[in-house]
């Protein structure tokens, strides 16, 4: 999976400030949940296959979204695909499958997508989990999170796509594919009051060769999540920990459903 780590290396720039991980809270005992899992840049629903299988084995309902132009939908790839297209993909999945009380989970670039979904249909969501994912503010693009309006390594962005040159024409699926640049420079909306009141967990994946403090010192998304009163958790592993330890990540997501935002709890307690 070295190539997968390379294509998602830009996500390291998403990593945020020094803050302690929250203590785990009790998971809903024996409750069967509905999960919608959203992958990161250049990937597809295939990235969630093993984690999804563990959730299914535990009796939960699982939808592994594949965003337009990626994964098994690569035949639809186009430089005209943007972030809104991918938000529409997940919104329509939830609406057309008539899903309610969804545990919406996004990884890496998927954090941009689930933010837009939260803003659009918060009434369909029970809990949101950002797994090593981008946490944007209202009106921010993923480039804004990086601190600029364009990629740092422009040689990897050609003909309207972020390229994955190590994936050859004879590569057997599943594998990463090129990804439209418009997904990275389009801003997302995050201002719906109902979205702001959703219960959210932010999970930072921490590799063995890095301390939590080192990881946190670079993590702007962690900082933004903490400022919102979201629950902060850490999990040992690289950026694609859901593939390294699918059982562990599946259990983590389920446990996260019991997390409660500090800000939301305090606001409701102090309400007249």
Task: Identify which of 131, 149, 153, 129 has the alpha carbon closest to the alpha carbon of residue 139.
Answer: 149
Instruction: Give the dihedral sign, CA 208/213/214/219.
Output: positive
Write the Ramachandran bin of 30: left for phi over 0, alpha for psi from -120 to 50, otherwise beta.
left
176 belongs to the catalytic site: no
Each residue's pLDDT tens digit, 56-87? 999 999 999 999 999 999 999 999 999 999 99
Q: Which of 13, 22, 29, 108 is labelled catalytic?
A: 108
Q: Is 5:212 a contact under the CB 8 Å cutoff?
A: no
Q: Is 226 helix (H, G, I), strand (E, B) or coil?
A: helix
Burial class (CB in 10 A: 0-12, 13-18, 19+), 167: middle
Query: Where do the domains of the chain lie?
Result: 2-22+31-269
CA dihedral 132, 137, 138, 144 (to 10 degrees): -90
- Residue 163: CB atoms within 10 A of its CB come to 16
Residues 6+ apart with CB under 8 A from 206: 212, 215, 234, 235, 236, 237
What value, to the nearest 5°, has the Cα angle with vertex 137 and ends 207 and 220? Answer: 30
| More confident call, 150 vs 161 | 161
Mean pLDDT, rounded, for 27-46:
90
Pairwise CA distance, residues 239 & 256, whole Å: 18
Q: Per-residue confidence at 165, pLDDT binned at 50, 70, 90?
A: confident
Give the pLDDT confidence score for residue 150 in this predicted structure: 62
CATH number of 2-22+31-269, picked from 3.90.550.10, 3.40.50.1820, 3.40.50.300, 3.40.50.10490: 3.40.50.1820
Which ranges constitute the DSSP H helices of 71-109?
A: 83-96
Q: Per-residue confidence at 149, pLDDT binned at 50, 70, 90?
A: low
Q: Is 149:173 a contact under the CB 8 Å cutoff?
A: no
| More confident call, 153 vs 46 | 46
Q: Is 234:208 a contact under the CB 8 Å cutoff?
A: no
Pairwise CA distance, residues 206 & 128, whole Å: 20
| More confident call, 14 vs 36 | 36
Pairing label, strands 179-180, 161-162: antiparallel
Residues 6+ apart with CB under 8 A from 38: 65, 67, 90, 104, 105, 106, 107, 110, 113, 114
């Amino acid at each position: 999976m070295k190539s997968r780590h390379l294509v998602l290396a830009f996500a390291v720039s998403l990593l945020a400030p020094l803050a302690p991980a929250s203590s785990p809270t009790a998971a809903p005992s024996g409750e069967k949940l509905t999960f919608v899992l959203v992958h990161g840049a250049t990937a597809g629903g295939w990235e969630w296959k093993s984690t999804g299988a563990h959730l299914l084995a535990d009796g939960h309902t699982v939808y592994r979204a594949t965003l337009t132009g990626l994964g098994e939908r690569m035949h639809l790839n186009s430089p005209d695909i943007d972030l809104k297209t991918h938000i529409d993909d997940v919104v329509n999945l939830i609406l057309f499958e008539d899903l309610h009380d969804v545990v919406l989970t996004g990884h890496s670039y998927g954090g941009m997508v689930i933010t837009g979904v939260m803003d659009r249909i918060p009434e369909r969501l029970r809990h949101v989990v950002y797994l090593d994912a981008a946490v944007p503010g209202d009106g921010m693009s993923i480039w804004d999170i990086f601190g600029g309006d364009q990629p740092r390594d422009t040689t990897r962005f050609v003909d309207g796509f972020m390229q994955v040159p190590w994936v050859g024409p004879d590569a057997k699926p599943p594998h990463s594919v090129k990804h439209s640049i418009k997904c990275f420079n389009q801003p997302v909306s995050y201002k719906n009051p109902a979205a702001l009141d959703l219960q959210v967990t932010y999970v930072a994946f921490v590799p063995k060769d890095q301390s939590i403090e080192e990881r946190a010192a670079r993590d702007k998304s962690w900082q933004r999540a903490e400022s919102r009163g979201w629950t902060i958790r850490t999990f040992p592993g690289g950026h694609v920990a859901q593939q390294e330890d699918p059982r562990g990540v599946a259990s983590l997501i389920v446990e996260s459903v019991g997390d409660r935002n500090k800000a939301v709890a305090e606001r409701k307690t102090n309400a007249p």
